[in-house]
Amino acid sequence: MRLKFVAPLMPTLVEQPPEGDGWIHEVKFDGYRSQLIIDEDETRIYTRNGHDWTAKYRDLVQEAKSLGAESAIVDGEIIVLNDAGLSDFGELRKAITRRQHDLYFVAFDLLHLNGHDLRDMPLEERREILASMIESGGRIQFSEPLPGEAKAIFHLLDKAGLEGMVSKRRDSKYRSGPSTNWLKAKCYSVDEYELLGVEREAGKPAFALMADRATGRYVGSAFISSSRAIRERLWKRVQEHAGSAPKGMKRPATQWVKPGIIGRVKHLRGEEDLRHASLQDFHDDEPEVTPAAKGGMRHRGK
C-alpha cells in the first residue's frame, strides 16, 4: 500500500514554555520540517507543505533503511550542523546542493508503522517506539527529551545560542494543523541592521524599516519601543539624514534615510526575516580607517 503525505501538526508560538509534568520538552531545531515515508514502493521525503524533495535528499533516503521498517511515516527536521555543533539554517541550503553527507534527519514523531496508524496513540508511546527504531551514530537521529524544569531548560538553550524549544503534551494524539498540544517558545537575538526609514502614522506605533547590512535586502520592520529620549534622538537623526525610498518600496507614511544609520534590533532567533522585532538603539556607521590610509586619514566605508 502506498502511504500518503500527512499534513503536519503545527505548534503554537508562546512567550514562555509551559510548566508541569504533563509535557515533554525538546530542542527546536533550525532546519526544514520534513516527513519521511517508507512503503513497499519506495522511500520518500516531503517538505512541510507536501512537496516531494526525495531527489534532494538521496543520502538520507539510503539511511532510512537503517530503521528496519516495512512501512512508516516519520515526522522530523532536516538540519546541518555548524562548527559549534548547532543546527545552522544559513548553511542548510548549501549542504542540500553540495554536501549531502552533512545532512541529518532529526526524528521526533511516528505516525505510521508497518500497516498501523499510530496517530491516536499517546505521544509518549509513539516516541518510545520511534526511539527503539533509531540506531545511534547515524544520519537519522532521535530528538531526545530534555530533562529538568521548563524555565531552566529554556534558559540553558538561550545561553547556548539555540533557536528555542518545543513542549508537547505527553498524552496528546497527532492531529494535522495548528495545535496547542505542541507549544514552541523561541529565543531572541540582538543584531545590527541598516536603517532604511521610519514609518510613523498618527495614532499608530512607529516602526523602523531594516535591511541586511551585507546585502541591503529589506528584512522587515522593528517596533520602536525604546525610551522617549532614544525615540526623539532617532527622529532628529532621521530628519537630518533624510533620503529617498529604495527602489521598489512604496510606503507613504515613511520618512526614508540615506545609508549610514545602524539599528540594534532584538528579534526572534532562527527566522529568515525579522519577527517580533523591536529597535533597542541606533548609531552612525563609523568609517573604517585602513592601515595604508592612516597617514593621510583617508577613510573607507564599511
Residue 10, C-beta contacts closer than 8 angstroms, at least 6 positions apart: 177, 178, 179, 182
Q: What is the DSSP letter of 257?
A: B
Domain count, the chain: 2
Confidence (pTM) = 0.73
User: Residues 176, 192: one domain?
Assistant: no
User: Residues 15, 158: one domain?
Assistant: yes
> Rounded to an integer, what distance in angstroms lies between the CA atom of residue 37 and that of residue 111?
10
All 3 cell numbers of residue 181?
Answer: 498540544
Short-list 173, 64, 194, CA closest to 111: 173
| pLDDT above 90 (res 246) | no
Are 168 and 47 within 8 A, CB to CB?
Answer: no
Decide if 298 is inside a domain. no
pLDDT in tens, 15-73: 889 999 999 999 998 899 999 999 987 999 999 999 999 999 999 999 999 999 999 99
User: Residues 202, 155: one domain?
Assistant: no
Decide if 261 is inside a domain. yes
Given 186, 221, 255, which residue is the final one in a domain? 186
User: Residues 72, 167: one domain?
Assistant: yes
Query: Looking at residue 101, which CATH number applies to its domain?
Result: 3.30.470.30
Across 81-115, the runs of DSSP E, i.e. the strands, are 103-113
Residue percentage of the chain with pLDDT more than 70: 94
Query: Looking at residue 251, which CATH number applies to its domain?
Result: 2.40.50
| pLDDT above 50 (res 300) | no
pLDDT in tens, 141-162: 999 999 999 999 999 988 888 8
Across 42-139, the runs of DSSP E, i.e. the strands, are 43-47, 72-80, 103-113, 116-117
Decide if 3 is inside a domain. no
User: Residues 61, 113: one domain?
Assistant: yes
Are 271 and 288 within 8 A, CB to CB?
Answer: no
| pLDDT above 60 (res 288) | no
User: Residues 149, 199: one domain?
Assistant: no
Q: ∠ CA(272), CA(167), CA(104), 5° rounding?
A: 55
Decide if 28 is inside a domain. yes
Given 157, 186, 215, which residue is the final one in a domain? 186
Decide if 300 is inside a domain. no
User: Residues 15, 127: one domain?
Assistant: yes
| pLDDT above 60 (res 88) | yes
Q: Which domain holds residue 205?
A: 188-289
Decide if 225 is inside a domain. yes
Given 130, 161, 186, which residue is the final one in a domain? 186
